[in-house]
Amino acid sequence: MATAATGRTSSPAISKNKLLGTAGLAWMFDAMDVGILSFVIAALAADWALTPGQMGWIGSVNSIGMAVGAFAFGLLADRIGRKNVFIMTLVLFSVASGLSAATTGLAAFLVLRFIVGAGLGGELPVASTLVSESVGSKERGRVVVLLESFWAGGWLIAALISYFVIPEYGWRIALVLTALPALYAIYLRLHLPDSPEFTAKKEKTGTVMQNLASLWSSKYRKPTLMLWIVWFTVVFSYYGMFLWLPSVMVMKGFDLIHSFGYVLLMTVAQLPGYFTAAWLIEKVGRKFVLSVFMIGTAVSALVFGSAEVTWILLTAGAFLSFFNLGAWGALYAYSPEQYPTVIRGTGTGTAAAVGRIGGIFGPLLVGSLVGAGVGLGPIFAIFCGAILIGVLAVVFLGTETKQIELE
């Protein structure tokens, strides 16, 4: 875990702002891919006459890949470095996403979405670890949350592409655009240094089994349990709600065009959510920000699921975006701070992998319950309850890591 402050600041070979922008663009491309998928699911349902269960599997197979990728690439990042894994995963998900535009059936589409998920799942925790290890303790949390804010930018681009491109040119063109980030890997390879914490570490990285066992040693057992619970509940609710968001709007009686437009409006609220969390996290701490934003997410989900009036629906959806994505930012800042450098990639990646298991069940749950005729109110109430369990884990198992040096 982090240790008491020593006044040391890191000295990365790249400026803080340049590092944030460089890693943030890759993060934005990740979000663009996930965001476009939520709109593509709604379009595929019409084109391929998909059942709610099949729609749920598209989101879930993406999360299965993310679970595998987060686990495998998290372990690999502790052996070959954060930068190399960062680039590998970016190329993997970009190429597979572009290829999925050429599919003509659900089976091939699911296979490629699994590969996309593996790349996405591997990149996100490794990117946050890289940035966390490259920034001084006094602003580490804020910078990592700002890194997460690029996710909102990616979702906004995805919503704009979906609103203007999919109705006019089809979902395949939208997916072709998601292959472009692979070219960005060339820039990263030339200009992005590896984590100074990783390159300067004196302790040799253990074997895979030793690193995994360390997560459950007496020193790290409590933070590991806390992270696994929080990651599971946050990812379970996020992918259950947000991958279905355009489809939920259709279920509430809006046509596809209006649904995409309303989701675009809700997505805008993600940015102030991130910036508010980034401002608060170094002032009041990780535990407070994460807990409050998760509670806000739970309440917003409850209202959104039962709303029937358009303005209430849009307002609750905006607050859902605001609080949920702010909580994501705090979680990405909080997670790497729980472990020392030699197992930080393993610890963060494994927690993310457990979370992605939740991401498997979330979309499937919505698909199965909708198929069984269950209303949206009870479905979103389930997500509300799951998030509150995560809040309890933070409050009772978490320790504050604000502005203390990484071990």
Q: What is the mean pLDDT of the chain?
A: 85
Q: Which helix (H) or strand (E) holds 212?
A: helix 208-215
For residues 153-178, give the mean pLDDT.
86
Specify the pTM: 0.78
Under the banding of pLDDT at 50, 70 and 90, the label for residue 205 is low
**pLDDT confidence tier of residue 390, bands split at 50, 70 and 90:** very high
- In the prediction, which pLDDT does 203 show? 60
Mean pLDDT computed over 153-173: 86
DSSP state of 195: P
The CA distance from 30 to 50, in Å, is 25
Beta-carbon contacts of 311 under 8 Å, excluding residues fewer than 6 positions away, are none
> Residue 342 in contact with residue 78, Cβ under 8 Å?
yes
Q: What percent of the chain has pLDDT above 70?
A: 93
Mean pLDDT (whole number) for 329-333: 90
Tokens representing 359? 């991401």
Check if the beta carbon of residue 140 is closer than 8 Å to that of residue 8: no
Rg (the chain; Cα; Å): 20
Task: Tell me the pLDDT band of 367, cut-offs 50, 70 and 90.
Answer: confident
The tokens of 186 are what? 């060339």
Given a cut of 90, whether residue 221 has pLDDT beyond it is yes
- The residue type of 135 is V
Confidence check: pLDDT of 192 > 80? no
pLDDT of residue 35: 82
Top pLDDT among 134 and 303 is at 303
Taking 3-state DSSP, the helix, strand and coil percentages for the chain, each rounded to the nearest 5, stand at: 80, 0, 20
Q: Which DSSP string corresponds to 315-326? A: HHHHHHHHHHHH
- Average pLDDT rounded to a whole number, residues 105-119: 93
What does the pLDDT read at residue 75? Answer: 86
The pLDDT of residue 271 is 86
**What's the rounded mean pLDDT across residues 243-249?**
77
Please determine, for residue 8, whether its predicted confidence score (pLDDT) is greater than 80.
no
**Rounded average pLDDT over 351-373:** 87
Per residue in 34-75, pLDDT (tens digit) is 888 888 888 898 889 988 888 888 878 888 898 899 889 988
Quick one: pLDDT at residue 194? 77
Closest CA to 28 of 243, 271, 273, 345: 271
Q: Is the pLDDT of residue 338 over 70?
A: yes
Provide the pLDDT for residue 385: 97
pLDDT tens-digit profile of 247-266? 778 777 777 667 777 777 88
Supply 120's token pair: 């996405």
What CA–CA distance (Å, rounded) separates 43 from 45? Answer: 5
What CA–CA distance (Å, rounded) separates 352 from 337? 14
For residue 5, what pLDDT is reported?
A: 43
Choice among 111-115, 135-139, 223-227 with the minimum mean pLDDT = 135-139
Using the predicted structure, report yes or no on whether residue 7 has a pLDDT greater than 50: no
Walk me through the domains of the chain, giving residue ranges and CATH numbers.
16-194+217-397 (1.20.1250.20)
Could you tell me the sign of the dihedral formed by the alpha carbons of 133, 135, 141, 142, in that order? negative
Q: Examine the pLDDT at 11 and tell me if it is beyond 60.
A: no
Q: Is the pLDDT of residue 188 over 80?
A: no
Note the pLDDT of residue 19. 83
Residue 202 has pLDDT above 60, yes or no: no
The pLDDT score that the predictor gives to residue 24 is 85
First to last CA, the chain: 6
pLDDT at 201: 66
> Mean of the pLDDT values across residues 139-166?
85
Q: Residue 368: name the closest of 354, 389, 382, 357 by CA.
A: 382
* Mean pLDDT across 82-104: 89
Which tops the pLDDT comparison, 133 or 330? 330
